[in-house]
Amino acid sequence: MSWFEWREAPEGEYAVIGDPVSHSASPRMHAAIYRELGLDWRYRAVRVPAGEVGAALGRLRELGYRGVNATVPLKEEVFVWCRETEGIAGWVGAVNTVDLDSGRGVNTDAPGFLRTLEAFGVEPGATVLVLGAGGTARALIPAMREAGYRLRAWNRTKSKMLDLAAEFAPDMMVLDEIDPAGCEVVLNTTSASLGGEGLAVDWSRSPEAVLAYDMMYGEEPTAFLRGAAAAERRGVDGSQMLVEQGALSFEWWTGKPAPREAMLRAVHERTESHSGSD
Ligand code: ATR
């Protein structure tokens, strides 16, 4: 899949911006939507270095683009660019979906993630153990708390998780060791899987119906999901959330229902390891 520097971007209707952007699954996912719905639209991958969001979005608007998705490291800068934001974007200070005409922005990452939990029968009130305190955890912790999930958390560098708890979830229990006892979900937001590393989870301590959820996805199950499977625990990877956040973006832009199965097939066409928040 080709990508463009923003100054050299051709005309189009929608785009994902990020740096790097070449890994993004969004172009093939949205192309699959357009094919399925018979829309004659183009969705481009456009590299925008940090600090150039304002100029780049102005240029894309001139070229006729209607909206963009933002990925790492631009979600916070895009939030600042937006004239107005809706929903959770305001409190996490990050936007992944923009309407260029109105300057409005939303964040579909956390809502997309919450939908996947419900699709696996994990309802608000359930206890989720969050592993990792990076950007992904920062978006999901406040969203889960607001939705009514009970939270426990662990991070390799404990002080970072204590900071997140102080900011977003003062009642979240921060553990010294990963202990899945009493948890309906163990959610891996760390990038350990990218390096092929597992985490020391003793699955024998978890309920049998626990859901092992890795935000990463790739061609093979991650080390984290292999560990869960070896203990006969069910697992899900980040591709479901990736599809759901993309589907919610498309629906927010157009009001048309997104064809999720075609999108998931498109994600799995090429499967280098990546995260569900794109
Ligand atoms: P993202 O934005 O994708 O969440 P990030 O902000 O780079 O990524 O955060 C990476 C997270 O993965 C951090 O919580 C990091 O732990 P530290 O805070 O201790 O650095 C965690 N992480 C990365 N590699 C890890 C590993 N091998 N084992 C455990 N945690 C790891």
What are 205-235's pLDDT values in tens digits? 999 999 999 999 888 899 999 999 999 999 9
Main-chain phi, psi angles of 239, to 5 degrees: -70, -30
Question: From the alpha carbon of 197, which atom of ligand 1 is closest?
Answer: 27
145 vs 277: CA distance, rounded Å? 19
The tens digit of pLDDT for each residue in 115-164 reads 999 999 999 999 999 999 998 898 899 999 999 999 999 999 999 999 99
What's the confidence (pLDDT) of residue 197?
A: 81
136 vs 169: CA distance, rounded Å? 15
Question: From the alpha carbon of 189, which atom of ligand 1 is closest?
Answer: 4
Distance of CA 86 from the midpoint of ligand 1 (Å): 28
Residue 136 Cβ contacting ligand 1 at under 6 Å:
yes
Distance of CA 275 from the midpoint of ligand 1 (Å): 12
270 vs 275: CA distance, rounded Å? 14
What tokens were used for 105?
């922005």
Residue 51 has pLDDT above 90, yes or no: yes
Enter the pTM of the model: 0.91
Q: What is the mean pLDDT of the chain?
A: 95
Main-chain phi, psi angles of 240, to 5 degrees: -65, -45
Residue 188 Cβ contacting ligand 1 at under 6 Å:
no
What tokens were used for 117?
């939990």
Tell which one of 190, 216, 222 to mutate to probe ligand 1, the residue whose CB is within 8 A of the most ligand atoms.
Answer: 190
What are the Cα distances from residue 148, in Å, to 122, 126, 141, 166, 207?
A: 11, 8, 11, 18, 20
What's the confidence (pLDDT) of residue 25?
A: 93
pLDDT-based confidence at residue 264 (cuts at 50, 70, 90)? very high
Give the active site residues: 75
